[in-house]
Amino acid sequence: MHDEIADEVWAAVGHWVEGRHEESAQILATLANTQTPSMMYGVACGIATVAKAALTKMHEPHTHDCFWGIRTVGGFRPEDIIPPHHLFAARFIAAHLNNDTDTALALYQAAYTSSDPELWPACMHTLLAATGEAVLAATTGADL
């Protein structure tokens, strides 16, 4: 079961990278409709693992002293200028890069249990899109 879900995560990211965004989103939607919330947390972590690999390729591995975070222009707080679903994706990926599973889980739970029924799907879709874009940036000129 886990291998099948991992294959679907890879397919979703691959479709995004290939420019087949609707197919990518459909795979994610199918997973969301067929998996439990805890399995979908695993999907989110799987997607973030791909983002981590891409970002690490672009920025070299860092020591344990390194901390990934969110920085904005003009000193604004991220919450004040970044839409919630984009902020979720950025923070979830940063938490994964920092090996901060407590924060990743808290972010996921907050999105999943939000009173806004559109937030969690938007967060997951943006996480997938951000990961696809990170893979594209890390593999520019590569033969995918």
pLDDT in tens, 86-143: 999 999 999 998 889 999 999 999 999 999 999 999 999 999 999 999 999 888 755 4
Q: How many H helices and E strands in the chain?
A: 7, 0
Q: How far apart are CA 47 and CA 131, in angstroms?
A: 7
HEC letters along 98-119: CCCHHHHHHHHHHHHCCCCCCH
- The pTM for the full model equals 0.88
* Dist. CA 11–CA 44, nearest whole Å: 14
pLDDT band at 55 (very low <50, low <70, confident <90, very high): confident
Average pLDDT over residues 15-34: 96
Q: Average pLDDT, stretch 5-14?
A: 94
